[in-house]
Amino acid sequence: MALQYHTKLNTGDVAPYVLLPGDPKRVQVVASYWDEAHQVADNREHVTYTGTYKGMPISCTSTGMGCPSTAIAMEELARTGARTFLRIGTCGTFQDFIKNGDIIVFDSACRYDGTTDLYAPPEYPAAAHYQVINACVAAMEELQYPYHVGTTRTADTFFAGHPRPGSSFNDYWHSSWEHFFEDLKRMNVYGAEMEASIVLVLARLWGLRAGGIAVCLDNLLTVSGDEGRFDPDAQLEHSDHSIEKLSKAGCEALYALYLADQQKN
């Protein structure tokens, strides 16, 4: 297999079990919880570390933000040996019972992105593999993290809909988004983020396994930043505790899968 153009990965560089954060700077943080880790590639938004966690071969590759760059990472990871993918990141929510700092385990995703339409028709499901969901739940129970299992909404925009009335943005567009967010709340959608749908669709298309977990930062309908607008610097995204939770939960979820796979073999 030739060297991959974007990730600069080659066959043998990645383990079958891969964690997918968005931010390249998070990869080294995730790898710090492993028994052994080394960087194997760093190009554009894609940084990859490979090593071992409790004897399990494991890799971590950053995807960048959004479905297009995530699709590129997954295409090249699958070509070089990755078989199980777990998206780890941050998200918003539409549900009042989900609190800041809770983890959402994604069992499915609403496809409000543009990338998945280029791989499969709209009727094709963005569904997590049941083994990955079960492993994520087992990891949350083991770590005693507050968590919820449900659907996320994957979209191509981050700031659209966040401004509140009275901000510098057009109130009409905010009003339209607010109605849409209320609809998602009524449809019992839990999460709001930008990558999960492509991870789930591609893995299912290829006959591989995938899932996702994310730490909730805020409720999109009742954002708690100054002046009623989302303020990422005031949320959990940049706190050590948030990244620590994601790193531990992701590693433990993949380890649960690894143990189950070893028993079957």
Rg, Å, the chain Cα set:
18
Q: How far is CA 150 from the centre of its chain?
A: 13
From residue 145, alpha-carbon distances to 103, 129, 213 in Å are: 7, 21, 12
- The domain spans of the chain are 89-264
Which H or E run contains 175? helix 171-186
Rounded to the nearest 10 degrees, the angle between the axes of helix 130-143 and helix 240-264 is 120
Q: Residue 79: its pLDDT value, please?
A: 97
pLDDT tens, the chain, 265 aa long: 689 999 999 999 999 999 999 999 999 999 999 999 999 999 999 999 999 999 999 999 999 999 999 999 999 999 999 999 999 999 999 999 999 899 999 999 999 999 999 999 999 999 999 999 999 999 999 999 999 999 999 999 887 765 554 444 445 455 566 788 999 999 999 999 999 999 999 999 999 999 999 999 889 888 755 444 455 555 544 455 778 889 999 999 999 999 999 998 7
Fold classification of 89-264 is: Rossmann fold (3.40.50)
Give yes or no for a contact between 45 and 66, defined as CB atoms under 8 angstroms apart: no
Q: Residue 238: its pLDDT value, please?
A: 46
Residue corresponding to tokens 């073999």: 265
Tell me the two tokens of residue 141: 């129970």
